[in-house]
Amino acid sequence: MSKRRPYVRPMGGWWKKNPFFVEYMVHEGTALFVAAYAVTLLVGLVRLGQGEAAWNGWLEAMKSPLSIVFHLVLLVAIAYHAITWFKLFPLTMPPMVVNGKRLEPNVVVGGGWTAAVVVALGLLAVVWRIAQ
Amino acid sequence: MSESQKIIEIEVLRYNPESDKEPHREVYKVPFSDDMSVLQGAQYIKDNFDGSLTFRWSCRMAICGSCGMMINGIPKLSCETFLRDYYPNRISIEAMAHFPIEKDLVVDLSGFIEKLESIQPYIIPREARTLEQGEYIQSPAQFNEYIQFTSCINCTLCYAACPQFGLNPDFIGPAAMALLHRYNMDSRDGGAEQRMQLVTSEEGVFNCSAVGYCSEVCPKHVDPGNAVNINKINAAKDYFLRFLSPKGGSK
């Protein structure tokens, strides 16, 4: 008869055991803040569709101290999410080869940031022109 | 033993399936020199304190991939990890995480072996070739496509680093996916379509949530996490191509 009795260790609290996993969980958790901001903007869009009074009401609500604190919290959380999201680029993207040489991970991350900043500035310019 | 002999405390997670209900920790005071690895520490314990201490090892030079264990909670090859880097603190060693413990530091790898088999880790030729056609020709560029993924030594540290494997032991996992990718990327191979079924299955790549620790701990810089994530893209392409081409996609 077999004397084998393999012991399976429990997984409870696994993410607290390693700083790498903590960063991962915070990264995943901050996605909720991204969603919260998207909902905030969506509410603004809905209020805009309901007419001028509703839109102005939403604008006023955005100016309240509570809303400003909320937005500061969002800014910090979303910045953390963005930084850790770009950090994952070399893991999640297919290798990029330029002139027969594979790009270094930090170049890939830098390229992602550059593209994001260029797109953001471009969008800002378009909005700026429309607002003029 | 000279008077200036340094002594390090090694805490070992022990488990004897014949007498223990669950694992327990035991501490050994091990005299060591600066050139001693954690593996040699374990060997010292086995030779001098308790001959029943069980662990796997072979080459002592990070080639065979047998001696992986959790060292202070981090998956490492014990042969290339040195006691001097932990002294004067206590060092804790434990069997590789997420695998069932067979005895002491030995884990049950049978699930991993089955996974390796399931990915068909050999070249499946595109078409039958005769001897007269000669050898396959491969350019350096084609060779570079897959060479990185051939460096895997099956140490399974990446599995000990993967919480998704811990939560779902059926997940095909980083090393097996890296090897699957190695054959898919080989210009001589035509088996990608056959392997796609596994990539997209319940056990496949979508168990991965891009934690990325597997690539971090890999002692051979295989970057298995990248292989898994590239195959998420391949799986998505395969899914959508099925609508466009009756021949595209898996069976």
B196 in Cβ contact with B183 (< 8 Å) = no
Distance CA B68, CA B74 (A): 10
Q: Which residue has the tokens 């209900």?
A: B21
Interface-testing mutation among A4, A24, A86, A91, with chain B (most B C-beta atoms within 10 A): A91
Asked if pLDDT for residue B128 goes beyond 90, the answer is no
Contact assignment for B229 to A93 by CB distance below 8 Å = yes
Residues 57-96 of chain A whose Cβ lies under 8 A from any Cβ of chain B? 88, 90-95
B52 in Cβ contact with B41 (< 8 Å) = no
pLDDT at B250: 46
B245: confidence class by pLDDT, cuts 50, 70, 90: low
CB-nearest to B102 from A4, A18, A92 is A4
pLDDT at B251: 42
ipTM score for this prediction: 0.89
Provide the residue count of chain A.
132
pLDDT at B246: 61
Task: Give Cβ neighbours of residue A115 (< 8 Å, ≥ 6 apart).
Answer: none
pTM over 0.95: no
Topology of the domain covering B110-244:
Fumarate Reductase Iron-sulfur Protein; Chain B, domain 2 (1.10.1060)
Distance CA B69, CA B106 (A): 9
List the domains of chain A with CATH numbers: 12-87 (1.20.1300.10), 94-132 (no CATH)
Domain ranges of chain B: 6-107, 110-244
Structure tokens at A12: 């409870």
| B94-107: average pLDDT | 98
| A41-60: average pLDDT | 96
pLDDT tens by residue, B14-44: 999 999 999 999 999 999 999 999 999 999 9
Structure tokens at B158: 């990446």
Task: Give Cβ neighbours of residue A109 (< 8 Å, ≥ 6 apart).
Answer: A86, A87, A89, A90
Distance CA B59, CA B152 (A): 15
pLDDT tens by residue, B42-70: 999 999 999 999 999 999 999 999 999 99
pLDDT tens by residue, B154-189: 999 999 999 999 999 999 999 999 999 999 999 999
Contact assignment for B216 to A9 by CB distance below 8 Å = no
Name the percent of chain B lying above pLDDT 70: 96
pLDDT at A101: 83
Distance CA B87, CA B84 (A): 5
pLDDT at B241: 86
Q: How far is CA A65 from the centre of its chain?
A: 24
Asked if pLDDT for residue B247 goes beyond 70, the answer is no
B248 in Cβ contact with B238 (< 8 Å) = yes
Strand partners, B77: B68
B190: confidence class by pLDDT, cuts 50, 70, 90: very high
Put simply, whether A20 touches B (Cβ < 8 Å) is yes
Structure tokens at B222: 């295989």
Q: How high is the mean pLDDT of chain B?
A: 94
Q: Which residue has the tokens 């005769």?
A: B130
Query: If DSSP codes are grouped into helix, strand and coil, which group holds residue B27?
Result: strand
A102: confidence class by pLDDT, cuts 50, 70, 90: confident
Q: Which of B201, B218, B108, B109 is nearest to B162 (CA)?
A: B218
As a CATH number, domain B6-107 is 3.10.20.30
| B198-225: average pLDDT | 96
| A102-111: average pLDDT | 90
How many residue contacts between A and B have a Cβ separation below 8 Å?
64
Residue A74 exposed, middle or buried by CB count within 10 Å (0-12, 13-18, 19+): middle
Distance CA B154, CA B142 (A): 24
Q: Which residue has the tokens 């000279």?
A: B2
Chain A neighbors of B92, CB-CB under 8 A: none
User: Nearest residue on chain A to B109, judged by CA atoms?
Assistant: A6
Calculated CA dihedral for residues B55, B40, A16, A13, nearest 10 degrees = 20
| A55-69: average pLDDT | 96
B124 in Cβ contact with B74 (< 8 Å) = no
Contact assignment for A95 to B226 by CB distance below 8 Å = yes
Strand partners, B32: B6
Contact assignment for B102 to A3 by CB distance below 8 Å = no
Q: How high is the mean pLDDT of chain A?
A: 94
Interface-testing mutation among B211, B217, B229, with chain A (most A C-beta atoms within 10 A): B211
Distance CA A53, CA B149 (A): 62
CB-nearest to B163 from A5, A21, A93 is A21
Distance CA B30, CA B22 (A): 25
Structure tokens at B130: 């005769």
Name the percent of chain B lying above pLDDT 90: 88
CB-nearest to A4 from B17, B163, B212 is B17
B196: confidence class by pLDDT, cuts 50, 70, 90: very high
A14 in Cβ contact with B166 (< 8 Å) = yes
A7 in Cβ contact with B23 (< 8 Å) = yes
Put simply, whether B138 touches A (Cβ < 8 Å) is no
Task: Give Cβ neighbours of residue A25 (< 8 Å, ≥ 6 apart).
Answer: A15
**How many other C-beta atoms are found inside a 10 Å radius of the C-beta of residue B197?**
13
| B76-98: average pLDDT | 97
More confident of the two residues A90 and B249:
A90
